[in-house]
A and B are shown apart, each in its own frame.
Chain A
Amino acid sequence: MATVELRFSALPEHVRTARLVAAAVARRAGVDEAVLDEVRLAVGEACTRAVGLHQNGGITAPVKVSLIEEEKQFSIEVGDEAPHLPFVAGSPGAGGDEVEAEEDEMGLAVISGLVDDVEVTAGEDGGLIRMTWPTTPPVVPLA
C-alpha cells in the first residue's frame, strides 16, 4: 500500500496542499534535494489536470494522490475519475473545449519534460498518472 495517501475535493485551493505533502514525503523517502522542485511541480501539474477534469465533468469524487516509497525509488500516482473515452476524431462534444484541451496538454507537456519515468493510463473509470524518481538511501543522522 501507499506510504501516504491523500484525497482532496477537486478544488484549485487544495492543489498546493498536495504539492507540499508530496514534496515532504519525497524528501523523507530520499529523493535528491535538487529534484524536489521537479517533484513539486510535476505533482502540482498532475493534480491541476485532475481537478480540471473533475470540474469540467461535474464529478464530485475526490482526486486521489498516492505517495509510494519503494526500494530505491519513490512514486507518485495521481488518479482522477473522469471517464476517458477512446479518442474518436470529430466525435460530438469534442469541439468547443479547445482552450481546456490546450491547458491539459500544457500540463502533460511540463510533466513529460520534467519526469523521465512517467506513465499515463486512462480508461472508462478514470485516468492515472504515475511518476517515479530514484532515491538514495537515507543517511543515518548523527546522534
Chain B
Amino acid sequence: MDLSLSTRTVGDRTVVEVGGEIDVYTAPKLREQLVELVNDGSFHLVVDMEGVDFLDSTGLGVLVGGLKRVRAHEGSLRLVCNQERILKIFRITGLTKVFPIHTSVDEAVAATD
C-alpha cells in the first residue's frame, strides 16, 4: 500500500487528505506536499488522517516539521483522526499536546482557538 494525497480548499483552510501508509519510505512525499503548500501561501492546514492505515515516527516527524513551517507564518496545522491505533502513537510520544486533533474535517475547519 502506497501513500495517497489530495488537497482541497475549504474557506481559508487547505485540507490535505492522506491515505495509506506513512512510513520511512512514503513520508518524504507528505513532507514535499506540506512544504509546497506552505511555499504557495497555504498557512492553515487540516491534515485528514482518516484514510491512514499506518503511521510511524518518520510520519510524526513530517507532521511536526509541517507545524513548524505554518507557525513561522502564524498559521495552523490541525489533524483529523478517530482511529485509536493512530491516536495511540500521538499519545505515547506526547504529541497530543502539540497538535489539535479533531474528530471530523468540519470540526477542524470551523476551529479557531
Contacts and interface: CB of A to CB of B under 8 A. Distances in A.
B57 A40 contact: no
A15 interface: yes
By DSSP majority rule, is chain A's interface helix, strand, loop, or mixed?
Answer: helix
Interface footprint category on B: 10 to 19
A41 B92 CA distance: 13
A139 B56 CA distance: 32
Contacts of B56: 41, 44-45, 48, 107, 110
Interface residues of A, number: 21
Contact of A51 (B24, B57, B85): B24
A106 B56 CA distance: 10
A114 B58 contact: no
A40 B24 contact: no
17 contacts: A12-B23, A12-B25, A15-B23, A15-B24, A41-B54, A44-B56, A45-B57, A48-B23, A48-B56, A51-B24, A106-B60, A107-B57, A109-B92, A109-B93, A110-B92, A110-B93, A113-B92
